[in-house]
Structure 1
Amino acid sequence: MLRLLLLQVWASCLWLGHGKVVQSLSNICDQFFYQKMIATNGLLPRNRAWICQTFQNQRFFATLYDKQNRIPVYSAYIYNPGTGKRPTPQWMVEPQLIRDNLPRDMQTEKTLRETYSVSQKDISNSQAVNQDYLHLNNLDRGHLSPAGHQHTQDGKTATFTLTNIVPQDAALNKGAWNLYEQNTMAGNSKDCQTTYVIVGAVPGNSSISQNRVNIPSHIWASACCKNTKKNIMIAWAAIAQNNKNKIQVLKLGELEKRLTQLYKRGPVSLFHADCPR
């Protein structure tokens, strides 16, 4: 009996020490969700991975990753923009999508090849890689969790992982979506104590890199916070077709209904019931 108990304790310790790719974000990376309610309803792809996005041994945001389409379903983070400069891109990947005995921190493909003796084939088989995004036509590497919404330089750098990126319409990324990220988010969050954000992408019917990486049909965003000035909970959302430089700002409940229709995976629920629809 004592031996069995010791084995159970040992197994629990191993699980608690587990790295970035996990079976569930609960108690590991749920701090990025309001009331620690992780968005799952109506969103889960068949072949998925939960990623606690870690850089320099620090967790900065959480991602639900679609391994089949090689794009994130969404990234969840706390809106806390800082004044630092946007980092020079050094694109990284998620080592533990390859195998779970690799580092918890995101790494460059070069580091994985040269320091950890991982083959490029193994990296490419597990996720999107830099090569997939080298020859884009009217598309950008679109951040779901943007660098500008992170407070520290390490936080900004952490957003440059390809598990946080989708092929996004270039005009939309530089235009209406950028205005939403910079202006709408700042204005709506002005009197918020803590703003919780979930930004995602709906898989489309086309792809890049010889069908390796899906091009989303829509990009969407949602946020919820407590307005300390009015002492009320507020929420808002946005959605854009990924082939037009146009964005629609709408209520959280309206977005959830739209996503329910688009994903066709059941009723979508993004936030705790406290967040007004």
Structure 2
Amino acid sequence: MKLLVLLLLPCLSLSEVVPGFAKCNQFFLKNDPPQFTPQWGKSVKEICQCVWDETDQQKYLYATLYNTALKIPIYSAYVFGSESVGRCDVWYIEPQLDDANGEPCMAPKGRKTINNQAVNSDYEKQDPNKPSYDKGHLYPVQHTYDHISMLATSTLTNAAPQESVFNRGEWKKHEAAVITDLGSCTEAYVVTGVVPETNIKLKKVTVSKYYWRATCCLKKPQLIGKGYFGPDNNGKVQTLSITALQTQLEKDYKIKNIKIFPSIPPGYKRPLTGGCN
């Protein structure tokens, strides 16, 4: 029956609110989520994003730390791939964020009032006298590796408002450049997040001050890390070390001791510069 539903709704995705990322920690380097304790308390939820596969089994594709108060993700973490499929932009919400006993399957809004997450209408009928915002993917379609992983990105728990000009311009170029940069890695882990601009709202959804991304390339005997954020003051994407990115995030999130990639796998060495932690 679940497979039939997926065939009838080809952009249907599924996810679960799972404390501690217990079902999807494989999307973090050495199964270790970022050392990252935001100040928002109970409004922060850990989501394992997945879909039904062709054998009617849940297949987990990435992990998201979501803020139900700001109604945007804090970050999404995934194992890097390279897009080889078409794109589907039918967007769904996570029922379990508003009902702990709700179905894990992503679904349209339906009749129920949604309090803890964004919905499509939050991005519609924007003020023409203000900047236009897209649903900006944290786990982007360009970095997926098959049709199922592409489907799983089409959830509003994996998106935050991103200025349209930046999303379709400099950030899109950056995402393409990451594909080239990580193409020779044996394996690569990525964490993409947003820093909220808490005083600016798109209806009830908090606008992002900027997007950031951290990549960790496994290429024995070393781990090669890079950090990015944008837009900077010039509307560009800035490249920096993981250490510098963590320092920037500590300042903007107003928290201490952020480690995006806390652990080093056995057999790898930390370079003097350009490492993943």
Verify same fold: TM over 0.5. yes
Question: Which residues of 2 match residues 259-270 of structure 1 at below 5 A?
Answer: 259-270=249-260
Q: Distance in 1 between matches of 2:233 and 2:161?
A: 11
- Structure holding more helix per residue: 1
Q: Which amino acid is the alignment partner of residue 45 of structure 1?
A: W
Question: Which residues of 2 match residues 38-57 of structure 1 at below 5 A?
Answer: 38-43=33-38, 45-46=40-41, 47-56=43-52, 57=58
Secondary structure of the corresponding residue to residue 115 of structure 2: helix
Question: Which residues of 2 match residues 102-251 of structure 1 at below 5 A?
Answer: 102-109=102-109, 113=110, 119-121=111-113, 124-136=114-126, 137-183=131-177, 185-204=178-197, 205-209=199-203, 212-228=204-220, 231-241=221-231, 245-251=235-241
Q: Could you tell me which residue of structure 1 aligns to residue 247 of structure 2?
A: 257
Asked if 1:34 is matched to 2:29, the reply is: yes
Q: Give TM-score, length-normalised by structure 1.
A: 0.82
Q: Is the 8 A contact 2:30 2:263 kept in 1?
A: no
Q: Could you tell me which residue of structure 2 aligns to residue 13 of structure 1?
A: none
Q: Could you tell me which residue of structure 2 aligns to residue 92 of structure 1?
A: 92
Q: Give TM-score, length-normalised by structure 2.
A: 0.82
Q: Is the 8 A contact 1:42 1:269 kept in 2?
A: no
Q: Could you tell me which residue of structure 2 aligns to residue 58 of structure 1?
A: 59
Q: Distance in 1 between matches of 2:234 and 2:59?
A: 36
Q: Distance in 2 between matches of 1:241 and 1:54?
A: 30
Q: Which amino acid is the alignment partner of residue 190 of structure 1?
A: G
Q: Distance in 1 between matches of 2:217 and 2:81?
A: 12
Q: CA deviation at 1:202?
A: 0.6
Q: Distance in 2 between matches of 1:154 and 1:65?
A: 21
Q: CA deviation at 1:43?
A: 3.6
Q: Distance in 2 between matches of 1:248 and 1:40?
A: 23
Gaps of 5+ in 1: 1-18, 114-118
Change (3 A) 1:244 1:120: farther
- Superposed CA RMSD: 1.8
Q: Distance in 2 between matches of 1:192 and 1:51?
A: 27
Q: CA deviation at 1:85?
A: 1.0
Q: CA deviation at 1:66?
A: 0.6
Q: Could you tell me which residue of structure 2 aligns to residue 70 of structure 1?
A: 71
Secondary structure of the corresponding residue to residue 163 of structure 1: helix
Change (3 A) 1:166 1:243: farther
**Higher-Rg member (1/2):** 1
Identity between Structure 1 and Structure 2 (%): 30
Give deviations 1:98-143, integer Å, cap 9, x for gaps.
223322222222xxx3xxxxx331xx21211111111234211100
Q: CA deviation at 1:196?
A: 0.4
Q: Is the 8 A contact 1:216 1:242 kept in 2?
A: no
Secondary structure of the corresponding residue to residue 20 of structure 2: coil
Q: Is the 8 A contact 2:134 2:167 kept in 1?
A: yes
Q: Is the 8 A contact 2:143 2:179 kept in 1?
A: no
Which stretch shifts more, 185-194 or 59-68?
A: 185-194
Q: Distance in 2 between matches of 1:103 and 1:243?
A: 43
Q: Which amino acid is the alignment partner of residue 147 of structure 1?
A: V
Q: CA deviation at 1:226?
A: 1.1
